[in-house]
């Protein structure tokens, strides 16, 4: 019996698919928009996040320990297994440094950076068998890439040009990819929300690690953008 290497087969299949796509170009990928009952809105925020610590400089996890954020997680995050407190230092607290929410109906909300913030916690997720089946990271064979997952709560407050105030809480399921240079790319799915609108949609993030142990807490500067469907 001839045994074909799985990775060789997979690479060959991808190559065939790529060649087929070039030979028969498709106009655009399929993109899903908001329903006719929802208002489409573009969100853009900048933020910085650092390892969460308490008053004694011990690792903490506001996402899971603070009452309001924990209520959001309990309501929309069922089935999630977090690394905290089994693995200390796996939670991040962030400050929103700028942001806007532009609704398609013409309303533009300027995000208030003094009251808006993020809280996140890494979660355990499935990885290849030789890396433990379930782990904090999945790592490429050459060690140049790390994939991970987290859950992030984003609290946003702001005002439109008429002075009307808005509040939103978004709970995001987050998959991220880290490179050796500290580049961080993220994919966020909104799994729950509360506030002036009910929100759904998917966001993308680009970030850069700006500090990490043993030289200090883990710190990431990042930008998040995407389309929200508001009702």
Q: What is the pLDDT of residues 128-172, one digit of tens each?
A: 999 999 999 999 999 999 999 999 999 999 999 999 999 999 999
**In this structure, how many other beta carbons lie within 10 angstroms of the beta carbon of residue 202?**
15
* 56 C-beta neighbours (distance < 10 Å), count: 6
Q: Is the pLDDT of residue 4 over 70?
A: no
The residue-averaged pLDDT of 115-127 equals 97
As a whole number, mean pLDDT of residues 48-72 equals 95
65 exposed, middle or buried (CB, 10 Å; 0-12, 13-18, 19+)?
middle
The per-residue pLDDT for 82 is 98
Split at pLDDT 50, 70, 90, the class of 215 is confident
Distance CA 140, CA 205 (A): 21
Q: Which two tokens stand for residue 65?
A: 């320990």
Q: What backbone torsions phi and psi does residue 186 show, to the nearest 5 degrees?
A: -135, 150
Alpha carbons 211 and 121: distance in angstroms, whole number? 18
Q: Which residue has the higher pLDDT, 203 or 15?
A: 203
pTM across the whole model: 0.87
């Amino acid at each position: 019996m001839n045994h074909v290497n799985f990775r060789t087969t997979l690479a060959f299949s991808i190559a065939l698919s790529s060649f087929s796509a070039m030979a028969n170009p498709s106009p655009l990928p399929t993109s899903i928009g908001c329903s006719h009952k929802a208002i489409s809105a573009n969100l853009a925020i900048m933020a910085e996040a650092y390892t969460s610590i308490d008053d004694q400089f011990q690792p903490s996890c506001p996402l899971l320990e603070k009452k309001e954020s924990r209520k959001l997680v309990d309501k929309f995050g069922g089935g999630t297994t977090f690394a905290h407190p089994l693995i200390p230092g796996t939670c991040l607290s962030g400050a929103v440094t700028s942001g806007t929410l532009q609704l398609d109906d013409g309303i533009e909300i300027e995000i208030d950076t003094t009251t808006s913030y993020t809280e996140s916690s890494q979660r355990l997720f499935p990885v290849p068998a030789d890396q433990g089946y379930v782990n904090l990271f999945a790592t490429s064979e050459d060690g140049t890439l790390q994939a991970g997952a987290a859950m992030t709560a984003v609290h946003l407050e702001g005002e439109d040009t008429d002075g009307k105030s808005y509040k939103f809480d978004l709970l995001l399921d987050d998959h991220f990819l880290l490179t050796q240079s500290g580049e961080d790319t993220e994919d966020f799915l909104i799994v729950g929300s509360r506030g002036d609108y009910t929100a759904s949609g998917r966001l993308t993030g680009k970030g850069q690690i700006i500090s990490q142990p043993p030289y200090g807490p883990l710190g990431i500067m990042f930008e998040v953008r995407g389309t929200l469907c508001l009702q």
